[in-house]
Amino acid sequence: MERFNMEKTARTRFAPSPTGHMHFGSARTALYDYLLARQTGGQFILRIEDTDKKRTVEGAEEELYAGLRWLGLQWDEGPQVGGQYGPYRQTERKEIYLQHARRLVETGHAFYCFCTPETIKAEREKQIANKENTHYSGTCRNLSLTEADQRIAAGETFVIRFKTPLDGVTRVVDELRGEMVIDNRTLDDIILIKSDGFALYHLAAVVDDHLMEITHVFRGAEWLPTFPLHALIHRAFGWVEPKWIHLSVFLKPSGKGKMSKREAADLIQDGRSIFIKDLLELGYLPEAVNNWIALMGWSYDDHTEFFTLPDLVEKFSIQKLNPSPAAINFTKLDHFNGLHIRNLTVDDLAQRLKPFFEKAGYKVDIDVLRKITPIIQERLVTLDDAIPLAGFFFEEKVSPILDELIAKKLDAAGTLEIARKILAVLEAVPNLELDTVEPPLRTLVEKTGLKPGQVFGILRVAVTGLMVSPPLFESLAIIGREKVIERLKIAIALLEESNDR
RNA sequence: GCCCCCAUCGUCUAGCGGCCCAGGACGGAGCCCUCUCAAGGCUCAAACAGGGGUUCGAGUCCCCUUGGGGGCACCA
């Protein structure tokens, strides 16, 4: 156990904005938040950052809740569960930000700005034309409070900007990268409060993190450039900063850049997705998704890779986090999914498989499914794979293809002959249990002098309609003698018909 | 353009100065097992970006170059 984690309990927060589908990048941040909170006996807080009403998407918040719950990351405080530090939705905290911004203005750390978006835009264009760095020119920076208040009273619209130090440096510490020293001249007077009265992320996040007593902030590395500003805001209030942990960004599978919205949406055509809701539908297990994303940017040692959520709670540590960007590797997700599927109990797997069969249009008898499950368990990469592999168990009839029915190195006539012999064996046997069918069929193989694969292949295609199926004898027992014989007879008829031509 | 971050097999990574002619995993190749497909077992190919330092000793520390990534909004 990490000594520093033992010292105090952590309060972490997952603070998404409800502007689109939840993807595994945010899921990974939430996971780390959850792990640290659980490990230290602290709290995992969910806060909705919805200050930009224009970008808020209907239903996105619900998708977030569903995604977190699916992954098993239940939050201790936040929407739907409440808590002592609410409200947990930023649009409900507008006044808090306004008061805090005013406080910064009064202490000389911020200022009212009356410049219009148009003048700012013109200013920026001029700077670009002159090859200067774009930044706020400082027109309103030294307006007196009394003058500003008069203009506000007169009805002028305003924003509140942070008064960034003009010189010197700002030193900040990221837990993964150590100290960063930034020249204050490269920092802009960012907007804290928009003209609509809502706070921008920079102010809202800082104020909330402090008020909610957040101890550790996990967030994406895309926040690194504004990190000094956020630290400066904390300091302007005289507050103690939380520990900052900037997580590496995810690159597209090729490793060439971040995935665009378009590319993310197109992935689904290949049966892959970065969105949590899709992963569920594609047949991935939340256990596998957690395992996979946990390892993208974190490792435990030089050989352990299989982790359940409780394992992760126990073993996670900030100091083993990796700051370098990581390319997404979907085949590794497949691997973990197979591993976790095999780790499930038969009963559990059968329950999870059921909706997939139903979605495919099958009427599922859970007792039959329970019998099927053990023989397909180690063959599944995703839950969805079960349908093409085992759908025939729930079909009335199967449709073998003649060419596939004909055994390797045999013609239709030869295959027909063998098929008839198989039928004879099956009819002679009292039932189709493993112990009763397998020995006589193997004897048959010996008598024919053919390869086991040739003989069993004929039966397989006849009974399952598939070239590739779960183990044959186990399958026969589940399908039942009556259906097996019926299917075999249909196959024999098919062979006879082709033989007649 | 400016600012910031990063840099070990194709990919995810272990490595926090000697344990490393660099370990694991995915993927790839091969073999074994075998009624198909899997699963499993074994084997193989595959990396410290380059150059300077520091040191008795550098993948590990420092600098430069190169490469990659991120950010420069009244978005988060």
pLDDT in tens, A408-457: 888 888 999 999 999 999 999 888 888 889 999 999 999 998 999 999 99
pLDDT at site A3: 39
List all residues 6 or more positions away from A71 whose beta carbon is below 8 Å from its beta carbon: A27, A30, A31, A276, A286, A289, A290
Distance CA A214, CA A241 (A): 9
pLDDT tens for residues A241-259?
Answer: 999 999 999 999 988 888 8
The string of pLDDT tens digits covering residues A133-158 is: 888 988 899 999 999 999 999 999 99
Of A254, A271, A252, A255, give the one whose Cα is nearest residue A263. Answer: A252
CA dist A493 and A499 (Å) reads 10
* A402 within 8 A of A412, measured Cβ to Cβ: yes
A271: Cβ contacts below 8 Å, ≥ 6 apart: A282
Residue A182 CA to residue A172 CA, distance in Å, equals 8
- Give the per-residue pLDDT at A4: 44
Q: pLDDT tens digits, residue range A263-308?
A: 999 999 999 999 999 999 999 999 999 999 999 999 999 999 999 9
ipTM of the complex: 0.95
DSSP string, A185-231: GG----EEE-TTSPBPHHHHHHHHHHHTT--EEEEEGGGGGGHHHHH
Per-residue flag: A224 CB under 7 A of strand B: yes
| Any strand B atom closer than 7 Å to A403 CB | no
For A321-344, write each residue's pLDDT tens digit: 999 999 999 999 999 999 999 999
| Mean pLDDT computed over every residue of chain A | 93
Q: What is the pLDDT of residue A7?
A: 57
* A115 strand B contact, CB < 7 Å: yes
In whole angstroms, give the CA distance from residue A138 to residue A113.
9
Averaged over A178-194, what is the pLDDT?
94
Separation of A328 CA and B20 C1' (Å): 28
Give, for A162, the enclosing helix (H) or strand (E).
strand A159-162
The predicted model gives A4-10 an average pLDDT of 66
A102: amino acid identity, one letter: R
pLDDT tens digits, residue range A220-229? 999 999 999 9
Is pLDDT above 90 for A99? yes
Q: Is the pLDDT of residue A260 over 50?
A: yes
A220 CA to B50 C1', in Å? 30
**Tokens at A317, concatenated:** 């540590």
CA distance A360 to A312: 34
Catalytic residue list contains A261: yes
- pLDDT at residue A1 above 50? no
pLDDT score recorded for residue A411: 87
Question: Which nucleotide has the least CA–C1' distance to A467?
Answer: B36
